[in-house]
A and B are shown apart, each in its own frame.
Chain A
C-alpha cells in the first residue's frame, strides 16, 4: 500500500504516487467515503493512452457513477484486476486499491501535497 502522506492529490480526489518512473493512480479515502459502497469499476486496457485532466474510467457506488480523471498523460502499463473483481476493496483501503499504472509519463495535472489536500477536503 501507499503512504497517503507521500502522495500527491488532484482537486477531483485522485491520488498519484510513483514506483520509479511509473505513475500509480487511485482515488482518495475521502472520495471512497463520499461515494459510499462501491460496486463496480471501469478501467482502460493495458496499452491505452491516458491524458492528464481527462477521464480514464469510472467508479460506481450503489447510488451513483463518478468519473476517474487521470492526473498524468501516458500509456497504461498495468491495471488492477483485483478491483475489477471486487470494487469494495477500494472502500476497505483506498491507498492499497490502486487503479492503473502509467508509463511514459508526460504532462501532469496541478497537484496538492497531502497537507494541502487534507485542508481542501476539510473545507468542503
Chain B
C-alpha cells in the first residue's frame, strides 16, 4: 500500500495530479504544468513536498568513524552546522544510495536518503554498524518542503528571523523556527538554484506549506511537483538514484569523483573502486541535435556500435531543447563528438557535451 505524505490533502486541494513514486502518493504536476513549474523555479520560486525523503540519525562516540567507513566522502573535518553529500557504496563499488549528512553536533549526525531506498539503507547501515554507534530511522516523524529559486531567500526572510537563515550553500540551522513552527533549515536543494530545504514535525507540514505559499504570493512562488523536480535536476545534471546511480553503477562511473576520497583509510567499496582504473564507463551529457526526444534506457551508438545507454532524458524547459544523460564506454566518450540514440527504431543524432547542461550564475 502506497504511503501518503503529511501534505497529501494539500496536494489534492491545490489540484495536484497524484501518482505513485518511491512508495508514496505524490503529485507529478499541478494544473500549471511541468514547464511553467520548472520556469518558476529558474526565474522566481517554487515549493515542493519532499516529505517522502528518508531521515536517519547516526549518533554515538564512533559516529564519524562509521560515516567514514560506509560512505565514500570524508567526514573527519565536517563541522557542526554544515552538510556534505556522499554516495554509499557496496563491496563491488556499486551504489547503495546517495545521501546528505548534516552534522548537528559532535557524535550527532542527521542523514537524508532517497525515499525508495530508506528501508534498504537503514538495513545496510545496521548490517555494517560498529560499536559506539546508534542508528534511528526517524523518517516518519518529519515533513520536508523545499523552497527553491532565486526568490527563495526573499520569501523566507518574510517569515523567518535572520538568525535561522543559513547563509552558505550546504549549511544548516538545526533549531530554527518559522512563525512558531520549530524546524531545521538547510541551504540545499535538487534544482540547480539557490534555495532551502525545511524539515519540520510531520503534523506541521501543511501549516508550513500554507504560510510559505502566502509569504511568496507576490514573488511568483507556485507549488511544484515531481515532474518539474525531475526536469530541474536533469538540467543541473544531478544524478537520480535508479537512473545515473544503481547497485551496479559506481559513483566514479556517474562522475561523482569529487565525493570519493581515495586517500581515506578503508571504506566499503574502496578496493573495487581502485580496481576500476582506468574507468571502463563514464557518464556523459547528450544534446539532441536531430529531431526527437531521447529518454532513459535507450541504446547509444557510435560508428554503428553500441557504446552505452541513456539513463535520463527529456525536453528541458529552461534550455528549451532535448537533452539526455548516458553512461558510455570511456574510450568512446569524446566531448564534441556525435553519436546516435535508438529511439523506438529511429536513430536520433546527438552531440556529447559537458555536464551540467545548466549552471546558475552566482
A31 vs chain B, min Cβ distance (A): 15
Q: Is B189 an interface residue (CB 8 A)?
A: no
Interface stretch among A6-14, A35-43, A71-79? A35-43
Cα(A36)–Cα(B28), bound, Å: 10
* Number of B residues with CB within 8 Å of any CB on chain A: 18
Q: Is B292 an interface residue (CB 8 A)?
A: yes
B121 vs chain A, min Cβ distance (A): 27
Residue of A nearest to B288 (CB): A40
Instruction: Return chain A residues, CB-CB under 8 Å to B314.
Output: 39, 62-63
B322 engages A63 (CB within 8 Å)? no
Q: Is B35 an interface residue (CB 8 A)?
A: yes
Instruction: Return chain B residues, CB-CB under 8 Å to A39.
Output: 293, 314-315, 322
Question: Given A36-B34, A62-B314, A42–B227 Cβ distance below 8 Å?
Answer: no
Instruction: Return chain B residues, CB-CB under 8 Å to A40.
Output: 291-293, 315, 322
B293 engages A63 (CB within 8 Å)? no
**8 A Cβ contacts from A4-40 to B:** 36-37, 39-40
Q: Is B231 an interface residue (CB 8 A)?
A: yes
Residue of B nearest to A34 (CB): B17
The 9 listed contacts between A and B (C-beta, < 8 Å) are A36-B34, A40-B291, A40-B293, A40-B315, A42-B346, A58-B344, A60-B315, A63-B28, A84-B291
B33 engages A65 (CB within 8 Å)? no
Question: Given A36-B29, A37-B34, A39-B293, A63–B315 Cβ distance below 8 Å?
Answer: no
Instruction: Return chain B residues, CB-CB under 8 Å to A42.
Output: 292, 346
A62 engages B34 (CB within 8 Å)? yes
Question: Given A36-B33, A36-B34, A39-B314, A60–B227 Cβ distance below 8 Å?
Answer: no
Contact with B along A39-71 (1 / 0, CB 8 A): 110100000000000000010111101000000
Cα(A36)–Cα(B226), bound, Å: 13
Instruction: Return chain B residues, CB-CB under 8 Å to A84.
Output: 291
